[in-house]
Amino acid sequence: MKRSLFLAVIGLVSLAGAGFAQETVDEALALFAESGDVHVSFSDEGQAQVERIIEILLDALGVPEYLDETSESEVGAFPVALEDKNLVNKLSQAYYTYADAFLRDLPNQRETFLKGKLWGLKSLRMNPAFVSFEEQENFVTAIAAETDVPAIFWTNANWLRWAEPDILDAIRGGIAPKSLAMNERLLALDPSYSTYAPYRTLGAFWQGLPSGVLLALFTGGLEQDYEKALDAFCHIVEEPTYCSGTLCYEVDPVCHEYFENRIVFAQYYLMPLDHWEDAARVLQSVLDEDIGDTFPLYNGLNQAIAAELLAEVQEHL
């Protein structure tokens, strides 16, 4: 059934029917936990739930099936009431979650990140002040004045993952200075968002930049920097061997409960620098713990990633 037809039907049914539609939206929103994650399991059932969340949010926003969600102009022009801005943010997050957790190594993963990025940008541009700054100055200036944490975070998260497979796309899009601006704004507004995700993103950002002065000319002068990556990671992992002196921060205990913090430290710092024994130790620590009930999706996903990475690490031991 076309979404436009679906909405027309909803408009014709009784108040009880309309209440059921809102109840369905409320049930979908209830799956977004306070921690920031979508609270589903890392399973086929969890995948089906996230797919359903996306469907419900698209219907709630009135998005017709003919709208090209990979077109920035079409998504940008699509009318959304300001009171539905939260639904747009949740849709951006749902697309990221779907692509990140359930479309790994599949051909439609990158397109799904693109959809998430464009809905994130849509949310940002629902703020007239953001649009004014972006048009009169630039995107970085607009971000510096933005206060919508979920909109900034999920735009950045989707954008980085979309750009990851093709560094030339990232360079052409000028994503490096834009991503850094978004991360810095997030750290100023709410560094603990999504279990301290801004630090995870920033650490991976500094490690993932190209190295060399020549390439840095195309990324706004930014280049790979392991010291800055470590500084970010030391906010989310308890590693006194690496995080001492000026890099010694008070780490929230919840960071240890969230496996991805240790995974990114191993994947984007220890492994690239050939710290194989420590990488094996950190990855094994993730495999040795119970997934728990607080972060079922991402702890389940990151145990699977830990097993894959550990197999790679063991080849170097």
| Residue 275, C-beta contacts closer than 8 angstroms, at least 6 positions apart | 269
| pLDDT beneath 70, residues of the chain | 1-21, 167-172, 212-220
What does the pLDDT read at residue 23?
72
**Domain residue spans of the chain:** 205-317
The per-residue pLDDT for 3 is 45
- pLDDT in the model for residue 55: 96
**What pLDDT is recorded for position 220?**
65
Q: For the chain, what is the HEC assignment?
A: CCHHHHHHHHHHCCHHHHHHHHHHHHHHHCCECCCCCECCCCCHHHHHHHHHHHHHHHHHHCCCCCCCCCCHHHHHHCCCCHHHHHHHHHHHHHHHHHHHHHCCCCCCHHHHHHHHHHHHHHHHCCCHHHHHHHHHCCHHHHHHCCCCHHHHHHHHHHHHHHHCCCHHHHHHCCHHHHHHHHHHHHHHHCCCHHHHHHHHHHHHHHHHCCCCHHHHCCCCCCCCCHHHHHHHHCCCCCCCCCCCHHHCCCCCCHHHHCHHHHHHHHHHHHCCCCCHHHHHHHHHHHHCCCCCCCCHHHHHHHHHHHHHHHHHHHCCC
Beta bridge partners of 32: 38
Which residues, at least 6 apart from 169, have a Cβ–Cβ distance to it below 8 Å? 162, 163
- Provide the pLDDT for residue 316: 96
- The three-point CA angle 228-231-235 to 5° equals 145
Q: Residues for the chain: how many in total?
A: 317
The pLDDT value recorded for residue 10 is 34
41-95 pLDDT tens trace: 999 999 999 999 999 999 999 999 999 999 999 999 999 999 999 999 999 999 9
User: How far is it, in rounded angstroms, from Cα 227 to Cα 229?
Assistant: 5
What's at 270, amino acid-wise? L
- pTM to 2 decimals? 0.91
**What residues are paired with 38 via a beta bridge?**
32
**Cα 143 to Cα 148: distance, rounded to the nearest angstrom:** 10
The per-residue pLDDT for 20 is 38
Rounded Cα–Cα distance for residues 276 and 315 (Å): 9
